[in-house]
Amino acid sequence: MNFVFNERDGCGKCPIRHRAVCARCDEEELAVLEGMKSYKTIAQGEPIIWRGDDLQHISSVVSGIASLSRTLEDGRTQVVGLLLPSDFIGSPGRETVDFDVTAVTDVTLCRFERKSFEKLVHEVPHISQRVMEMALDELNAAREWMVLLGRKTAREKIATFIEMVVRRDNVPIHAGQPHSLPLTREEIANFLGLTLETVSRQLSSMKKDSVLTFSDRRKFTVLDLAALQDATGDDADGGVII
Amino acid sequence: MNFVFNERDGCGKCPIRHRAVCARCDEEELAVLEGMKSYKTIAQGEPIIWRGDDLQHISSVVSGIASLSRTLEDGRTQVVGLLLPSDFIGSPGRETVDFDVTAVTDVTLCRFERKSFEKLVHEVPHISQRVMEMALDELNAAREWMVLLGRKTAREKIATFIEMVVRRDNVPIHAGQPHSLPLTREEIANFLGLTLETVSRQLSSMKKDSVLTFSDRRKFTVLDLAALQDATGDDADGGVII
DNA sequence: CAACAACTTTGACCCAGATCAACTTTATGA
DNA sequence: TCATAAAGTTGATCTGGGTCAAAGTTGTTG
């Protein structure tokens, strides 16, 4: 959502969003916000904000990846979303966050004082419309993910995830293109509702079946896109994430 | 979201929403919409709209319960949300629905022509703000549900679901109050990412443990609320659904 | 009210994925 | 460059919840 400031485009690259919402920046809005912003960088692995913490700022991810997650008392954790450049941390109208936010890679945030941001949401109709669109897109994506979590097999989950990563990289879809995996096996597991061992095994199995190759543990290439898409369990037509 | 018309209050009773968003109706908005609405009733079990269908109307549930779901090719289905009075079917800005919508009980809808509704969203800032708030609330609820689907055990899922139903009924929380279950075992299973047999077994087990009693298969009473809440797997403080 | 259909319960068995454990590979930094 | 840690792989085993099957309930309709 780079209507707020356009250091970075977030157009359709978010793994968890359907429609691009950028490329329609309004100059006046930018001007209003220009004086309000401040930047902050968080190192890989560090918490950005904990569930229940008081929300002083509404921030937008400028670079890097953050995760939204919830951990149950006994340590089971579920990642409920990845925040990529242009995604927001904090919602206007909420005084706390309901999930833990953690820097998956080094993350740079652009922050706005929450009160000012909320004032803006009320005064500039354009902005609430954009936030509305974003929220509706993410709601849709969250629901797609619910289908994955509730009904897909381990292999389908992994295939869906890999396809999402590939799609996000947004390069022409002929094979041979290398992609990089921003998450550890454990983070992938927590995103897919699996264990890290199962993730590892499924990736190995896809290697064995010549669907993927890994040049190193974070870099892979799709050898058989059709097989990958087949393995997602989704209809061929429509219904895709992103 | 009864800002649109207030035949029915939806205040805080939605099982999948955190904050009440009603009780702030604006007279002017009501007046504008008054001429646009039409009603429709759908019988229990009937489809309201299929995924991919062209969205002619934005509708709001007036009475009854509808489900939002996705079915994979081989028949596995996941319910991704329940639509209760005041919830919307269709989003401004979208030309199709991405999930199947089905009447769980008899459902009455109040419908608006989509184009007119969208025009209103653009012209009345108030409305996009409300839709934004709703969408953010539902997004949060969807993420909570992702935690359930990805990480909770069968018993925790059932306990969470029952607690949600009880909470939705919104009566003083001393035991003895009878509640009614609007869904079949199969629908519950599809909502929780389980099979109907597992749902049945878990409910029987909670009966055996004197956490619940059933007076008939759709009516139950909580005997031990503390045990129920304990079994949800959530922290005692905060983090609750609704 | 009989007979059929829809829904629910319960039992027996099985298997996908979790758990536990050993080991390998890669990264970090003194 | 060696030591230690972090991340990943692979194997052996276990188990929660799925699958299959049979009966029991409740509801509906002619």
- Whether the per-residue pLDDT at A44 is higher than 80: the answer is yes
A41 and A138 within one domain: yes
Domain boundary among B104, B119, B148: B148
| Partner A contacted by B120 (CB < 8 A) | no
Distance CA A25, CA A36 (A): 17
Q: Tell the burial category of A140 from Cβ atoms under 10 Å away from its Cβ (0-12, 13-18, 19+).
A: buried
Please tell me the distance in Å from B104's CA to the nearest CA on chain A: 19
Residues B240, B167 contacting (CB under 8 angstroms): yes
In a domain, B240, yes or no: no
Closest CB to B133 among A93, A143, A233: A93
B60 and B172 within one domain: no
Please tell me the distance in Å from B215's CA to the nearest CA on chain A: 30
A-chain residues near B70 (CB < 8 A): 143-144, 147, 239
B182 compared with A25, residue with greater pLDDT? B182
B175 compared with B113, residue with greater pLDDT? B113
Hey, what's the torsion of the CAs at A136, A140, A143, A147, to 10 degrees?
180
Domain boundary among A148, A181, A212: A148
Q: Is the ipTM of this complex over 0.85?
A: yes
Tell me whether residues A129 and B133 touch, CB distance under 8 A.
no
Hey, what's the torsion of the CAs at A175, A179, A183, A187, to 10 degrees?
-10
| Partner B contacted by A234 (CB < 8 A) | yes
Domain boundary among B130, B148, B166: B148
Specify the range with the lowest mean pLDDT, choosing from B170-179, B215-224, B233-242.
B233-242
pLDDT recorded at residue A30: 55
Q: pLDDT tens across B197-218, in order?
A: 999 999 999 999 999 999 999 9
Specify the range with the lowest mean pLDDT, choosing from B78-82, B112-116, B201-205, B228-232.
B112-116
Using the CB atom, is residue B178 less than 7 Å from strand D? no
Specify the range with the lowest mean pLDDT, choosing from B8-22, B28-42, B52-66.
B8-22
Number of folded domains that form chain A: 2
Distance CA B204, CA B222 (A): 13
B contact test, residue of A54, A89, A146 with most B CBs within 10 A: A146
Q: What residue numbers bound the domain in which B211 lies? A: 154-230
B140 and B31 within one domain: yes
| Partner A contacted by B75 (CB < 8 A) | no
B159 and B83 within one domain: no
Measured CA B71 to C1' D21 distance, in angstroms = 25
Closest CB to A151 among B72, B93, B131: B72
B-chain residues near A135 (CB < 8 A): 132, 135-136, 139
Distance CA B68, CA A76 (A): 27
Q: Note the residue count of chain A.
A: 242
In a domain, A195, yes or no: yes
B184 and B71 within one domain: no
Q: pLDDT tens across A160-218, in order?
A: 999 999 998 877 766 678 999 999 999 999 999 999 999 999 999 999 999 999 999 99
In a domain, B13, yes or no: no
A217 and A192 within one domain: yes
Please tell me the distance in Å from A31's CA to the nearest CA on chain B: 21
In a domain, A9, yes or no: no
B201 and B128 within one domain: no
B219 and B126 within one domain: no
| Partner B contacted by A94 (CB < 8 A) | yes
| Partner B contacted by A100 (CB < 8 A) | no
Q: Report the CATH number that the domain containing residue B198 is assigned in CATH.
A: 1.10.10.10
In a domain, A4, yes or no: no
pLDDT recorded at residue B13: 29
Using the CB atom, is residue A204 less than 7 Å from strand D? yes
Closest CB to B93 among A136, A147, A238: A136
Q: pLDDT tens across B87-111, in order?
A: 999 999 899 999 999 999 999 999 9
Give Cβ neighbours of residue B206 (< 8 Å, ≥ 6 apart).
Answer: B155, B158, B159, B162, B212, B228, B231
pLDDT recorded at residue A28: 52
Which residues are paired to B102 by β-bridges? B47, B67
A166 and A133 within one domain: no
In a domain, B241, yes or no: no
What's the pLDDT band for B175 if we cut at 50, 70, 90? low
A31 and A144 within one domain: yes
pLDDT recorded at residue B177: 85
B102 and B137 within one domain: yes
In a domain, B11, yes or no: no
Distance CA A37, CA A44 (A): 22
Tell me whether residues B135 and A140 touch, CB distance under 8 A.
no
- If one counts every other C-beta atom within 10 angstroms of the C-beta of residue A136, the result is 24
Using the CB atom, is residue A153 less than 7 Å from strand C? yes
A116 and A32 within one domain: yes
Question: What mean pLDDT do residues A56-73 have?
Answer: 95
Single-letter code of the amino acid located at A216: D
Q: Report the CATH number that the domain containing residue A144 is assigned in CATH.
A: 2.60.120.10
Please tell me the distance in Å from A215's CA to the nearest CA on chain B: 30
Q: Which two tokens stand for residue B188?
A: 């519950």
How many helices (H) and strands (E) are present in chain A, helices listed first?
A: 7, 11
Nearest chain A Cα to B74, which residue?
A: A233
In a domain, A124, yes or no: yes
Which residues are paired to A101 by β-bridges? A49, A68
